[in-house]
Amino acid sequence: MDAKITNSILYLDNVSVSFDGFRALNALSFVVEPGELRAIIGPNGAGKTTMMDIITGKTRPDQGEVYFDGAVDLTRKDEAEIAQLGIGRKFQKPTVFESHTVWDNLELALNRKRGVFSTLFYRLTAEDKARIEEILATVRLTARKDDYAANLSHGQKQWLEIGMLLAQEPKLLLVDEPVAGMTDAETSETALLLKDIAKTRSVVVVEHDMGFIRDLGVKVTCLAEGSVLAEGSIDFVSNDPKVIENYLGR
Ligand SMILES: Nc1ncnc2c1ncn2[C@@H]1O[C@H](COP(=O)(O)OP(=O)(O)OP(=O)(O)O)[C@@H](O)[C@H]1O
Ligand SMILES: [Mg+2]
């Protein structure tokens, strides 16, 4: 197999998909390295969410190659298999269990991974507890662990859901517009939080908030009309005339 594939956590080559004749992805190619945190930007309708749909098996590409973890052909897997392989996805709207505590939400997520159907008779091991404590610290919710999820701020609910995904130990975490609706303080904290998470796994984050993207300080890929318009540092990408014309200057 091509070294470009074997050395990557995520490899897309020449991926296209059309909906009723409209090309949402148009020969999209990009590669994410193991342990990388990658930011994706681009105008509405550029295909950012569709790209995540392709990676997670929600949408099948019409053409192109999609490989995960150096060898796994994702175009041959269904959504459940892809989740099982270690790809976690955070959708825009948080879906935490509001009537459960923060701790219980994380405990449920941990048991879901284990496939325990009923948590009623299952006792957490010391190791499980340590893992939950660790996740609480990562998602900045240690002080809120006994509070009902319903009482968290919008931003904290987003963090809790990221924590629930971490309980599944994904190798790759996909996060779509995490800071929409967050306060400025929560937005800056989210950049730090994702950088912490990327120390132990790969993360791909889609965002429109350019301040947040700048805070991340990582390689940026700008999509437009279903393909890569520019890629590189935030300064390189934001000075690209095509990016200014198609996105930033709008
Ligand atoms: N399942 C689908 N059926 C039909 N059209 C779709 C489907 N999914 C996406 N599209 C279309 O594909 C295009 C790309 O949409 P996509 O949601 O990927 O854009 P995006 O870059 O995530 O935009 P935004 O920044 O607004 O979230 C849009 O024109 C959208 O309407
Ligand atoms: Mg989108």
Question: CB burial class (10 A; 0-12, 13-18, 19+) of residue 145?
Answer: middle
Q: Distance (Å, rounded) from C-alpha 136 to C-alpha 246?
A: 39
3-state secondary structure of 6: helix
- For the Cβ of 221 lying below 6 angstroms from any atom of ligand 1, the answer is no
- For the Cβ of 49 lying below 6 angstroms from any atom of ligand 1, the answer is yes
Mutational test site, ligand 1, from 49, 60, 176, max ligand atoms within 8 Å of CB: 49
Is residue 174 within 8 A of residue 88, CB to CB? The reply is yes
Q: Please list, in sequence order, all residues whose beta carbon lies within 8 angstroms of the beta carbon of residue 245, skipping any fewer than 6 positions away.
A: none
Tell me the pLDDT tens digit for each residue of 223-247. Answer: 999 999 999 999 999 999 999 999 9
- For the Cβ of 229 lying below 6 angstroms from any atom of ligand 1, the answer is no
CA-nearest of 22, 50, 80, 73 to 176 is 50
pLDDT for residue 72:
96
Q: Distance (Å, rounded) from C-alpha 158 to C-alpha 181?
A: 10
The DSSP secondary structure of 39-98, one letter per residue, reads EEE--TTSSHHHHHHHHTTSS--SEEEEEETTTEEGGGS-HHHHHHHTEEEE-SS----T
User: In the chain, what percentage of residues exceed pLDDT 90?
Assistant: 88
Instruction: Give the rounded distance of the alpha carbon of 247 from its chain centre.
Output: 22
The mean per-residue pLDDT over the stretch 72-76 comes to 96
Which residue has the CA at smallest separation from atom 17 of ligand 1?
A: 49
Atom of ligand 1 minimally distant from the CA of 52: 18
- For the Cβ of 44 lying below 6 angstroms from any atom of ligand 1, the answer is yes
User: In the chain, what percentage of residues exceed pLDDT 70?
Assistant: 96
Tell me the pLDDT tens digit for each residue of 173-222. Answer: 999 999 999 999 999 999 999 999 999 999 999 999 999 999 999 999 99
Atom of ligand 1 minimally distant from the CA of 45: 19
Tell me the CA–centroid distance for residue 191 and ligand 1, in Å.
25
Residue 5: what are its φ and ψ, rounded to 5°?
-75, -50
Which residue has the CA at smallest separation from atom 25 of ligand 1?
A: 44
What residues does each domain of the chain span? 1-86+170-249, 94-169
Per-residue pLDDT band for 114 (boundaries 50, 70, 90) equals low
pLDDT for residue 111:
80
Q: What is the pTM of this model?
A: 0.94
Question: CB burial class (10 A; 0-12, 13-18, 19+) of residue 171?
Answer: middle
Which residue has the CA at smallest separation from atom 11 of ligand 1?
A: 24
- For the Cβ of 190 lying below 6 angstroms from any atom of ligand 1, the answer is no
pLDDT for residue 168:
92
pLDDT for residue 65:
97
Tell me the pLDDT tens digit for each residue of 118-176. Answer: 555 567 889 999 999 999 999 999 999 999 999 999 999 999 999 999 999 999 999 99
Residue 18: what are its φ and ψ, rounded to 5°?
-120, 145
Which residue has the CA at smallest separation from atom 29 of ligand 1?
A: 45
In this structure, CATH architecture of domain 1-86+170-249: 3-Layer(aba) Sandwich (3.40)
Atom of ligand 1 minimally distant from the CA of 51: 18
